[in-house]
Amino acid sequence: MKLAFIRRTGLFFFALLAPAFLIQGVAAQQKKVDSKGAITGTVIDQTQAVVTGAKVELINQAGAKQESQTDEKGNYAFRGLQPGTYTLTVFAPNFGTKVFDNIALTEGLELNLEVTLEPESAKSEIKVEASSVGQVEVENATVSGTITEKEVVSLGLNGRNFTQLIALAPGVSNQTGQDEATVGVTGSVKYSVNGGRVEYNSFEIDGSDVLNTGLNKASSTLMVYPSLDAIQEVKVLTSNYGAQYGRTASGTVQVLTKSGTTALHGNLYDFVRNEAFNSRNFFDQTRHAPLYRRQDFGGTIGGPLTIPGIYNRKRDKTFFFFSEEVRLEKTPTQYNQAVPSLSERGLRMTPQGIQKNLITDFSGKVHQAFDFSDVCPIPGSPESFGFSRAQFPDCPADPIKPAGGGLFLPPVKWIRMHWPFLTPT
């Protein structure tokens, strides 16, 4: 009977938890789908009549091909597309082939391309630049700014931190207070979007949240800072974005990393900053510029993942991309820290060097005197009437005060340790 009850209870809890996991999985899958792009449109002729049965071919930068046909209304659609650069080609009987090249599709962008076919004798190829297509979004009212791969690599950044680039988007201001952007625990991603609070932003790399909100005592940094050479694009959503990005109340920064292609490609880099390249400040006391060394080196490699003769023989299915970056820094910093004096450590300076500060008390015993008179009140002094921890914060121990008030009377053990020459008989 008890076993049957346990089984029924377990089934009951499973029935309650199953819908929750199912909803969570559907929501995650929905966000994953929504984060991808789409290319849709209509194929018409010169008289504005729709062209049905036209063949539409879409090829990405890796060479992967997708095909579709226009329906009875002349519409075509390619959905669930990864961000990148595409080529769209349209074929139809008795019409010339029309090619749209260099179509830049960013994350979450639904691009509408209307294709007008001309008679076969007037075949044409149209070059579509990313700068002219990527900014036109007629499917939604999202206000955003995109930093392309060329801008990410070409713009000089003090610190090689990609978060510096989001200030290029309209309405974004830098609130980090850092001239040389750092990474890791000391990094900062405090950017205000349209006047919003800096802690209300969201940072995603390939769809994963990477904002660090307190780990390792970091106030506002990222758990992952991808190398600039590994970034395909950076997109900043400032307002009116969809519900799939509604986790925070301010801006959303989306970073898309690169992918491998059909050919093997890679690069190596090394950025060096050294005091040998710097000039000496007029007020410097040294003959040369102060020590200042920064070295940032690394590389990337990407290509097809294939097993010769067995898998991916055409090198158009599976790809890989690897990036590694190393930073070396060597810069002197000022560091001031108070240390106990010789008297506080029970020592004194003598012609023979540093010796123990030995004092004979009233009983004839020899003690090592630890003199804290510079940080603790001397018994009988005006400061000893009512000991104040705020006035003597570095005093090693609080003297015991009389329960009924009165004069400051520290215990004999405390006096012997700090002022043995004042030990009462």
Q: Kindly state the average pLDDT of the residues 181-198.
A: 87
User: Given pLDDT bands bounded at 50, 70 and 90, which one contains residue 230?
Assistant: very high
By the 10 Å C-beta count (0-12 exposed, 13-18 middle, 19+ buried), 182 is classed as middle
Which range of residues forms the domain containing residue 354?
A: 347-422
- Residues 120 and 169 both lie in one domain: no
Give pLDDT, residue 77: 92
CA distance 345 to 374: 13
Give pLDDT, residue 385: 64
Task: Give the tens place of pLDDT for each residue, 15-52.
Answer: 444 444 444 444 444 444 456 788 999 999 888 888 99
Mean pLDDT, all residues of the chain: 77
CA of 422: how far to CAs of 6, 52, 188, 382, 411, in Å?
A: 77, 108, 55, 16, 12
Q: What six digits make up the tokens of 161?
A: 């931190």
Task: Give the tens place of pLDDT for each residue, 373-403.
Answer: 767 766 666 666 666 767 767 676 554 444 4
DSSP state of 412: H
The answer, yes or no, to whether residue 320 has pLDDT greater than 50, is yes
CA distance 338 to 394: 11
Q: Kindly state the average pLDDT of the residues 163-177.
A: 89
The answer, yes or no, to whether residue 12 has pLDDT greater than 60, is no
What is the share, in percent, of the chain residues with pLDDT greater than 70?
Answer: 74
Specify the pairing of strand 252-257 against strand 202-205: parallel
Residue with tokens 């990005």: 245
Contacts (Cβ under 8 Å, ≥6 apart) of 184: 221, 225
Give pLDDT, residue 300: 95
- Residues 304 and 407 both lie in one domain: no
Structural domain includes residue 342: no
- Residues 123 and 97 both lie in one domain: yes
CA distance 163 to 107: 18
The answer, yes or no, to whether residue 295 has pLDDT greater than 60, is yes
Q: What six digits make up the tokens of 312?
A: 């991916």
Range of 31-40, 143-152, 332-341 with top mean pLDDT: 143-152
CA distance 357 to 118: 104
User: Given pLDDT bands bounded at 50, 70 and 90, which one contains residue 61?
Assistant: confident
Give pLDDT, residue 22: 44
CA distance 125 to 89: 9
Strand order in the sheet with 208-209: 143-147, 231-239, 252-257, 202-205, 208-209
- Residues 248 and 265 both lie in one domain: no
Measuring CA to CA, which residue among 319, 277, 318, 316 is closest to residue 295? 277
User: Given pLDDT bands bounded at 50, 70 and 90, which one contains residue 127?
Assistant: low
Question: Strand (E) positions, 70-176?
Answer: 75-81, 84-91, 98-105, 110-112, 115-116, 124-127, 143-147, 172-174
- Residues 163 and 220 both lie in one domain: yes
User: Given pLDDT bands bounded at 50, 70 and 90, which one contains residue 296?
Assistant: very high
Give the type of residue at 77: A
Measuring CA to CA, which residue among 171, 157, 178 is closest to residue 201? 171
Q: CB–CB of 231/256 below 8 Å?
A: yes
Specify the pairing of strand 347-350 against strand 353-356: antiparallel
The answer, yes or no, to whether residue 138 has pLDDT greater than 70, is no
CA distance 229 to 269: 9
Q: CB–CB of 44/51 below 8 Å?
A: yes
- Residues 46 and 118 both lie in one domain: yes
In terms of pLDDT, which residue wins out, 102 or 389?
Answer: 102
- Residues 166 and 126 both lie in one domain: no
Give pLDDT, residue 89: 92
Please provide residue 104's backbone torsions phi and psi, each rounded to the nearest 5 degrees.
-90, 120
Range of 3-17, 280-294, 376-390 with top mean pLDDT: 280-294
Give pLDDT, residue 239: 84
Give pLDDT, residue 6: 36
Give pLDDT, residue 272: 93
- Residues 301 and 254 both lie in one domain: no
Q: Kindly state the average pLDDT of the residues 45-64.
A: 88
The residue among 139, 157, 175 that closes a domain is: 139
- Residues 269 and 302 both lie in one domain: yes
Q: CB–CB of 219/177 below 8 Å?
A: no
Q: CB–CB of 88/58 below 8 Å?
A: yes
Range of 126-130, 249-253, 338-342 with top mean pLDDT: 249-253
User: Given pLDDT bands bounded at 50, 70 and 90, which one contains residue 14?
Assistant: very low
In terms of pLDDT, which residue wins out, 325 or 364?
Answer: 325
Measuring CA to CA, which residue among 260, 258, 257, 238 is closest to residue 248? 238
Q: Kindly state the average pLDDT of the residues 345-362.
A: 86
Give pLDDT, residue 402: 43
Structural domain includes residue 148: yes
The residue among 211, 242, 259 that closes a domain is: 259
Structural domain includes residue 172: yes
Query: What's the total number of domains in the chain?
Result: 5
Structural domain includes residue 341: no
Structural domain includes residue 112: yes
The answer, yes or no, to whether residue 284 has pLDDT greater than 50, is yes
Give pLDDT, residue 407: 42
- Residues 126 and 151 both lie in one domain: no
Sign of CA dihedral 177, 178, 184, 190: positive
Phi-psi region of 279 (alpha: psi -120 to 50; beta: other; left: phi over 0): beta
> 313-319 — which CB contacts under 8 Å span 24+ positions?
315/63, 315/262, 316/62, 316/63, 316/64, 316/262, 317/64, 319/62, 319/259, 319/260, 319/261
In terms of pLDDT, which residue wins out, 301 or 144?
Answer: 301
Q: Kindly state the average pLDDT of the residues 289-298.
A: 89
The residue among 123, 139, 155 that closes a domain is: 139
Give pLDDT, residue 182: 85
Q: CB–CB of 342/388 below 8 Å?
A: no
The answer, yes or no, to whether residue 279 has pLDDT greater than 70, is yes
